[in-house]
């Protein structure tokens, strides 16, 4: 399966774009533009993006995929992916106003981890990282984990910013199976 091969290549550090077979072809959505609050348009690695992502086709859509250990957001940081053809924009942020780990798409918040101090006695979130074990984790300012995707033990997974606005962690080892999703598509 082409998707599984592409995810495996991504999980092993490859950065080639992948395409689905004609039967599962993704809808054309244009070119992604990736920005963060450190350098604006992401063209090189920085404090947020430590490995450059790839564009893949998966689940009937196109996505910008980050391999494990390649994405860290600190208090107030954000990363967004905007698609030129569809006008869809997805932003992942660890809000500087309250420490909540949030996905924004379209005109507002579509998912939140509930890591604000008012929601969680151990909050707020101070760091969010897609760890090398594929667990997406938010830690408080004392470095204690206060929220996690529960996807550890999948070292070849990718975190995909899909063109349909969904944020998904896919496993390469199980043929591109979705392990976690923000459920925002």
**Is residue 57 a contact partner of residue 32, using CB atoms and an 8 Å limit?**
no
At 7, the pLDDT band (50, 70, 90 cuts) reads: very low
Q: Which residue, 74, 62, 69, 111, is CA-closest to 91?
A: 111
Q: What is the mean pLDDT of the chain?
A: 83
pLDDT-wise least confident of 11-25, 89-103, 146-160, 170-184 = 11-25
Strands (DSSP E) found in 76-181: 78-83, 89-94, 101-105, 108-112, 125-130, 136-140, 145-148, 158-162, 167-171, 177-181
Q: Is the dihedral of CA 37, 61, 65, 148 positive or negative?
A: positive
Q: What does the pLDDT read at residue 28? A: 56
The pair of three-digit structure tokens given for residue 72, joined into one six-digit string: 């860290």
For residue 85, what are the domain limits? 2-181
The pLDDT confidence band at residue 2, using thresholds 50, 70 and 90, is very low
Beta bridge pairs of residue 56: 63
State the average pLDDT over residues 69-97.
90
- Of 29-33, 51-55, 74-78, 114-118, the poorest mean pLDDT is in 29-33
Total number of domains constituting the chain: 1
* Domain at 43, CATH number: 2.90.10.10
Q: Give me the sign of the Cα torsion angle 147, 44, 89, 177.
A: negative
> Could you write out the three-class secondary structure of 73-96?
EECCCEEEEEECCCCCEEEEEECC
Greater model confidence, 1 or 158: 158
Q: Tens of pLDDT along 53-68?
A: 999 988 788 899 999 9
CA 72 – CA 159 distance, rounded (Å): 12
Q: What is the pLDDT of residue 89?
A: 86
Whole-angstrom CA distances from 18 to 45, 61, 82, 106 are: 21, 12, 19, 26
Q: Quick one: average pLDDT of 124-151?
A: 96
Give pLDDT tens digits for 18-30: 333 333 444 557 8
Read off the pTM.
0.82
Pairwise CA distance, residues 90 & 167, whole Å: 8
Share above pLDDT 90 across residues of the chain, in percent, rounded to a whole number: 55
Which of these ranges, 59-68, 71-80, 127-136, has the smallest mean pLDDT?
59-68
pLDDT of amino acid 77: 94
């Amino acid at each position: 399966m082409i998707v599984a091969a592409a995810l495996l290549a991504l999980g092993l550090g490859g950065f080639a774009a992948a395409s689905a077979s004609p039967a599962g072809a993704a809808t054309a959505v244009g070119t992604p533009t990736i920005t963060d609050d450190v350098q604006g348009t992401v063209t090189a690695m920085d404090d947020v993006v430590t490995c450059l992502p790839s564009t893949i086709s998966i689940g009937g859509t196109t996505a910008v995929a980050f391999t494990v250990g390649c994405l860290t957001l600190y208090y107030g940081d954000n990363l967004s992916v905007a698609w030129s053809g569809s006008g869809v924009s997805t932003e992942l942020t660890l809000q500087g106003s309250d420490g909540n780990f949030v996905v924004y798409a379209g005109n507002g918040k579509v998912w939140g981890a509930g890591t604000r101090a008012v929601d969680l006695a151990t909050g707020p979130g101070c760091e969010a990282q897609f760890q090398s074990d594929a667990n997406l984790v938010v830690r408080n300012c004392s470095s204690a984990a206060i929220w996690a995707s529960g996807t550890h033990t999948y070292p070849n997974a990718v975190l995909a910013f899909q063109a349909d606005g969904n944020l998904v962690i896919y496993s390469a080892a199980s043929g591109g199976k979705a392990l976690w999703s923000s459920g925002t598509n």
